[in-house]
Chains A and B, each alone.
Chain A
């Protein structure tokens, strides 16, 4: 085997091994396009047993079952969104690792933006107030005389 062929083989092995940790060969779909969609969805679905892993990363039994169900639904012709809805109907929004934007998650998604806007408004108001304070109040007659005195004072 040439060095180049060996390098290519190693690259293939690495690429094949890296993207998912738990998806078993027996689960995979023959159709690469469907399998790719299944992977894309699986990465966004929370494993409910080990809650901060996706089902693609988890070795839990339930994660395996969910991966199989997900592939069954895709094979049956469901769209990606239909598959997600199917899982959400059973496990709630919690099953999505990327929570959707809706009334219940308004604070979650809107909170940082609201804080940023609030901070911006505070800075603007403060800056304007400072600018106004700087421009205000020309010297009175008395002050002008005292200033002239100070400036004229011999060194």
Chain B
């Protein structure tokens, strides 16, 4: 009996490896996606100037107390335009504060972009050197970070937010965090 079973071993090994590779080929898997090292960690320290003088900028210390979605964007970023209508809808969600950080973007370009498409953000801050973005682990815009009331990063979206991500992941998490 044992002798016979040993002939099954290559078949089983093949099935295992094939299954593993099959998973790697799944269409919803993005091989360029970098796993986030910042999940469940406190937001990095930052203090960014506002887009418009006189308005409040954005400080890491101010993020405590409410659930915040920080969206890194830029006027030169095409996928940002794609996600923009979703951000406008999301801005109406009272449980959430939506803040924007313009990444490596001239203030006048950012202003023109928001004037054209509408401004979904409660606060818009500028990160022209892109250092705060690096502290967050951003490697391309748009990226969005959901931050809980204690100032911890709880969710990260690399690339544009989509309807599926908002309904399937973001909203359930917001509901849980604002309980």
| Chain A contacts for B139, CB-based, 8 A | 48-49, 62, 91
| Chain B contacts for A88, CB-based, 8 A | 37
Bound CA–CA A150/B36 (angstroms): 79
| Chain B contacts for A61, CB-based, 8 A | 104, 130
Partner of B134, one of A49, A51, A65, A92: A65
Q: Is B140 touching A92 in the complex (CB atoms < 8 A)?
A: no
Verify if A83 is at the interface (C-beta below 8 Å from B).
no
Verify if A155 is at the interface (C-beta below 8 Å from B).
no
| Chain A contacts for B36, CB-based, 8 A | 92
| Chain B contacts for A93, CB-based, 8 A | 37
In angstroms, how far is the closest chain B Cβ from the Cβ of A47? 9
In angstroms, how far is the closest chain B Cβ from the Cβ of A104? 10
Residue of chain B at shortest CB distance from A50: B32
Interface bin, chain A: 10 to 19
Q: Is A90 touching B32 in the complex (CB atoms < 8 A)?
A: no
Partner of A90, one of B37, B104, B140: B37
The residues in A between 3 and 43 inclusive whose CB is less than 8 angstroms from any CB of B are none
Verify if B137 is at the interface (C-beta below 8 Å from A).
yes
Verify if A148 is at the interface (C-beta below 8 Å from B).
no
Residue of chain B at shortest CB distance from A91: B137
In angstroms, how far is the closest chain B Cβ from the Cβ of A125? 12
The residues in A between 48 and 75 inclusive whose CB is less than 8 angstroms from any CB of B are 48-49, 51, 61-62, 65-66, 69
Verify if B136 is at the interface (C-beta below 8 Å from A).
yes
In angstroms, how far is the closest chain B Cβ from the Cβ of A33? 26
| Chain B contacts for A90, CB-based, 8 A | 37-38, 44, 134-137
In angstroms, how far is the closest chain A Cβ from the Cβ of B17? 12
| Chain B contacts for A49, CB-based, 8 A | 139-140
Supposing A48-B139, A51-B32, A69-B134 touch, asked if A91 and B37 sit within 8 A by C-beta, the answer is: yes
1/0 contact trace for B28-48 toward A, CB 8 Å? 000010111110000010000
1/0 contact trace for B89-131 toward A, CB 8 Å? 0000000000000001000000000000000000000000111
Q: Is B130 touching A89 in the complex (CB atoms < 8 A)?
A: no
Residue of chain B at shortest CB distance from A92: B37
| Chain B contacts for A69, CB-based, 8 A | 131, 134
| Chain A contacts for B104, CB-based, 8 A | 61
Residue of chain A at shortest CB distance from B136: A90
Specify which of A48, A88, A93 lies most central, judged by the most chain B CB atoms within 10 Å of its CB.
A48
Partner of B35, one of A65, A66, A92: A92
Q: Is B34 touching A92 in the complex (CB atoms < 8 A)?
A: yes
Supposing A49-B139, A49-B140, A91-B139 touch, asked if A65 and B32 sit within 8 A by C-beta, the answer is: no
Name B residues whose Cβ lies closer than 8 Å to a Cβ of A. Answer: 32, 34-38, 44, 104, 129-131, 134-137, 139-140
